[in-house]
Structure 1
């Protein structure tokens, strides 16, 4: 299969991914796999996401990619971080002698990685991460490979952003469900305290809160234990 056919196949697969609602890590893993096929010269690809201002390699097509990325994060320099900061493609064909990253470059070279192509993942006015492509050979990425990488990065950024939104929505839904469950449990516990002591609703809530503070336990956990204890007692009386 020719380079153009490889690229078209990978791009078609990526386009199909835009229409799915898969988990974040599944989406990123597939994007990385498609990128290895789409970008000539690639020996490994990783996807870095920016979470709370910090980079994190979420998926990597092969283990050495994760190792190289971790070196960048530790030294706070390298093509991935530069691509995110500048919002521009970063390319290097001889990392061992790269003056832009004097600490990272030699270390990458000693790991047997000599070429890097880092592509920022841009969605409207924000950077969601970077697509990092590495090769063992020097000067592995031609101008054509860079162009194909940039073309691939555009829909890849959309796929990643969509997956992030889905993951965030699922987290918020889970948090809301948990909050509603906790509220119901606390209300039950208040009712139990009221029935046992004749206290008002506010007084019963204060009892639970004081127990929470005294025992250094979350209020919801105090309430849940009280409700579970009341249920056990009720079963034993049957």
Structure 2
């Protein structure tokens, strides 16, 4: 099997490693969700060798390994054949953080039950590499070749290891971005809740001619007595008085530097 790109060995160029690594970084801009990012990552990894291999990405879910994405159905089939018994190269790489290469699937002595499964699916050789995020192995990138033994020679293995390291870095950023998005959503929900509760408190203050603390206490008591969330009680009160449903979203806008207006004011001690 010919390698991809040229590292001074006369190998006919295919998709250069630098091109693939650059594409990994572009995924961070193009893929809005982590799952889409991983799917595109698997497809890029398959192009590390020529002809392209099949790639599956294994991760742990509820303590059990599973294939989260794959470049094609064959890779998922090979991956999933390892999960029931808990043996095989991708499971081992995920559990230990070790790179696992199978040069010739038909003669490799490890995991004999898996060998029968893999050979039946046409696997000739494979390479499983850990994906490490913040020092923790959170996945394994599994490359399966169906054309010939020893597809992952020294050059191709080095290329795959470089790609896996770059993919791990990009995955770290993708997960961090997903967490930031989740935090933003939580802030929006919190601000929406605060907004409608403030409106309900204002209504009670006017109706009961009481202070804000007294109005909030009345609102909370009604919530407890009726086993309803405080926000639900507030929404119903606002809707009853205004004749329109309470707003479901908050006007939470992030500034270009990523800092919300509320956060900026809090940092500088400004009034809301």
Q: 1:2 to 1:118 in 2, by over 3 A?
A: closer
Unaligned stretches of 5+ in structure 2? 6-12, 246-272
Show the counterpart of 1:11: 18
Mapping of residues 6-85 of structure 1, within 5 Å: 6-8=14-16, 10-18=17-25, 20-22=28-30, 23=32, 24-40=34-50, 42-50=52-60, 54-85=64-95
Q: 1:106 to 1:193 in 2, by over 3 A?
A: farther
Give the structure with the larger helix fraction.
1
Give per-residue Cα distances to partners, 1:135-177, cap 9 Å, x unaligned: 2245252323222211221112111111111111111111121
Distance 1:167 1:232 in 2: 37
Distance 1:203 1:232 in 2: 22
Distance 1:104 1:221 in 2: 54
Which of 193, 218, 222 is residue 207 of structure 1 equivalent to? 222
Q: 1:210 to 1:83 in 2, by over 3 A?
A: same
Distance 2:235 2:68 in 1: 36
Q: 1:181 to 1:232 in 2, by over 3 A?
A: same
Q: 1:2 to 1:204 in 2, by over 3 A?
A: closer
RMSD: 3.1
Q: What is the Cα deviation at residue 90 of structure 1?
A: 0.7
Q: What is the Cα deviation at residue 45 of structure 1?
A: 0.9
Q: What is the Cα deviation at residue 222 of structure 1?
A: 4.0
Partner of 1:73, secondary structure, is: coil
Distance 1:96 1:185 in 2: 66
Distance 1:204 1:164 in 2: 39
Show the counterpart of 1:184: 195
Q: What is the Cα deviation at residue 39 of structure 1?
A: 2.7
Q: Does 1:169 align with 2:180?
A: yes
Partner of 2:46, secondary structure, is: helix
Distance 1:223 1:97 in 2: 69
- What's the TM-score, normalizing by structure 1? 0.78
Show the counterpart of 1:119: 129
Distance 2:203 2:185 in 1: 27
Unaligned stretches of 5+ in structure 1? none
- What's the TM-score, normalizing by structure 2? 0.69
Q: Is the 1:21–1:163 contact (alpha carbons within 8 Å) kept by the matching residues of 2?
A: no
**Number of matched pairs:** 229
Moved more, 68-77 or 152-161: 68-77
